[in-house]
Every structure is written in C-alpha cells, then in structure tokens.
Amino acid sequence: MNVQLIGLIHMLRKLSNEQKVGIWKRIAYDLEMPSRNRRVVNVYSLSKCTKENENVIIPGKVLGTGMIDHKVTVAAFEFSEGARKKIISAKGTCMHINDMMQKNPKGQNLRIIG
C-alpha cells in the first residue's frame, strides 16, 4: 500500500468517528482491499447510474470507456485522463476523495457507485 492511500484511510476512519457517519468508514473499508479487488467504474456506468447534478463517490478508479451527457460530481481515488476529460466536458466535476471529505464532512446526499 502506498503512503497516500494509508493516510487517506486513516483520515476517513477519523472523520467517520468524529461525524458519526458510516459512509466514510465504508469507503475506508473498500480502499483497504487489495488493488485487484478495488472498484473500477467506466464513464458509461456513471452515465447510466446517475442523475443530473448528483454527487457520487467511487472507492477506486474511474475509466474513460463510454460517454456521459449530464452534469455529475464524482469523487474517486483515481481517474484516467480520458475519464476526467469526458466528465469535465459534460460540465461535471472530478475530485479526489479528500476534497469530498472537506466539502461534505457529514456525507449527505452522496452515493457510492461501483
């Protein structure tokens, strides 16, 4: 495991205990899995499973296969360059899980995809 990932897992567990919110603990649990078992989501799946202006979190990587036609805020551990370009071109937002933790510490109106 890399140092950045270990630090993120620690911060997720700490925030979960401080805010008494289970979603951050679930994300930490998912990120602790071996990299071959982590979630991988394509842009096509984001388009199919989300609605306009929805906030989603992916405890893994977002890949660029497919197209998206609506605005969505996506927080993930990693993005491929193609996925980032497609989400931004649809007027969406890509952010790291750290940024979502700071923006929404209570974890309200978030959905886990993958």
Whichever domain contains 39, its CATH number is 3.100.10.10
Helices (H) and strands (E) in the chain, counts: 5, 5
- Supply the pLDDT for residue 35: 85
15: phi then psi, degrees, rounded to nearest 5: -65, -40
Contacts of 70 (CB under 8 A, 6+ apart): 47, 50, 51, 52, 90, 92
Percent of the chain with pLDDT over 70: 99
Domain count, the chain: 1
Question: For 21-39, what is each residue's pLDDT tens digit?
Answer: 999 999 999 999 998 888 9
Question: For 53-91, what is each residue's pLDDT tens digit?
Answer: 999 999 999 999 999 999 999 999 999 999 999 999 999
Distance separating alpha carbons of residues 55 and 73, to the nearest angstrom? 5
pTM of the model: 0.91
Which residue segment(s) compose the domain that 30 sits in?
A: 3-112
Distance separating alpha carbons of residues 114 and 98, to the nearest angstrom? 18
Percent of the chain with pLDDT over 90: 93
Nearest in space to 65 (alpha carbons), one of 91, 47, 53: 47
